[in-house]
Structure 1
Amino acid sequence: MDRILLGGSRLSLDRFRADPVLAALQWPDDVLQDFLFEHGDHGPFVVVDCGHLDLSAITWTLEAIPATDFHTMPTGESEAGLIEHFAQNPVYWASVKVPEVGRHWEDHGTWLRPPLLIDRRLLDPADSGLHVLEGRTRVGVLRGRLREQLRVTPHHQAWVGRP
């Protein structure tokens, strides 16, 4: 896994994706980019939150998740409290991204790009339900919009990793 993690910040996404180890995972491009390419060299995230994961044992599917399921969905120990930080000012956090992000929330009541969730049976210790792996800002904006009674669709697309 070191080769994968060290390569993310030095290679183009196309070269990164072409690595035989990554190609063997057969993960969707969105998942590969958001999880390993963009965050693979972020030590606390990789070591504390994901160091025990067997990447080859995860199958990813795009699923519609009820908005209410995100209300208490946890995230990794290295980012504890971050989702609620974003939820405190959802309009601001959507606006600091590219302009399309804020507009998408206003027009569609959901995120522009699905976050990554993982089945908590894959975590150590194992549990039931889903866990926010990547997309803490998106989930925080959703929670804040729900609290502030802003436009939110009843279901949201998310990539879900399951055993």
Structure 2
Amino acid sequence: MKYKDLSEIALDSYSTEKSIELLKQHGVSAPDSVIEQFYIDHNSNSRFLELYGELSLHDLKWELVEFDTTKFLQIGSNASFPDFLEEVTEDASHFEDVGEAVIDCREVVLNHWKKHGTWLIPPIFLDANVLGGKSCIPHLVEGHSRVGCLLGIQKYRIIPLAEKHKVYWGSFRKGT
């Protein structure tokens, strides 16, 4: 099944659990959070279809891994929405005027950043070789606000960050 084929499945955006189960019945193998954030939430997004439409979902393996904070500096424009990533990163430059709201206005999210120095929900990355790029270079699929926030916090030294951050990492299965 290719990413573009997801739109042919009758997913229910109001019932994530049902949609996750339906995709698993179609042979999709990925963590629930990847299925929700990548396969359900964006399967009709034109930019995602342009970037990932031909991607064979059965060829991907997903792992929850940790990246050092410095690994995120390699992203550059290697993201679904590079301009948005940069915009969110630069939001942190307004810390003096806006305060902690540059991190997040939701109290639970802000408190998590302050306590743990990282996000609540891991963002989704693909190994760039999946898209024809260099192996082991991170391509940000979903989580631009989270990663942009991290980059902004680091750049403007707003709060201490954790040394490592969990991400979902998609790469080719062996033999693919």
**Size of the alignment, in residue pairs?**
158
Measured after TM superposition, the shift of residue 4 of structure 1 is: 2.5
Measured after TM superposition, the shift of residue 14 of structure 1 is: 1.9
Q: Match for residue 164 of structure 2?
A: 155
Q: Structure 1 residue aligned with 2:79, among 75, 79, 83?
A: 75
Measured after TM superposition, the shift of residue 42 of structure 1 is: 1.3
Q: CA RMSD in A?
A: 2.0
Q: SS of the counterpart of 1:112?
A: coil
Cα distance 1:93–1:53, how it changes in 2: closer, same or farther (>3 A)? farther
Q: Structure 1 residue aligned with 2:22, among 19, 22, 33?
A: 19
CA contact (8 A) 1:8 1:40 kept: no
Which ranges of structure 2 fall in alignment gaps of 5 or more residues? 93-99
CA contact (8 A) 2:104 2:110 kept: yes
Q: SS of the counterpart of 1:24?
A: coil
Q: Match for residue 108 of structure 1?
A: 116
Mapped pair 1:59 → 2:75: no
CA contact (8 A) 2:112 2:118 kept: yes
- Report percent identity of matched pairs: 24
Q: SS of the counterpart of 2:125?
A: strand
For the residues of structure 2 that align with 1:27 and 1:71, how far apart are their CA atoms?
26
State the Cα deviation string for residues 54-106 of structure 1 (Å, max 9, x = none): 11111101001011010131202xx231111001124435323x321111111
For the residues of structure 2 that align with 1:20 and 1:159, how far apart are their CA atoms?
18
Please show how residues 116-131 of structure 1 align to structure 2 within 5 Å. 116-123=124-131, 125-128=132-135, 129-131=137-139
**Max radius of gyration: which structure?**
2
Mapped pair 1:42 → 2:45: yes
Cα distance 1:131–1:95, how it changes in 2: closer, same or farther (>3 A)? same
Normalising by structure 1, we get a TM-score of 0.87
For the residues of structure 2 that align with 1:145 and 1:23, how far apart are their CA atoms?
40
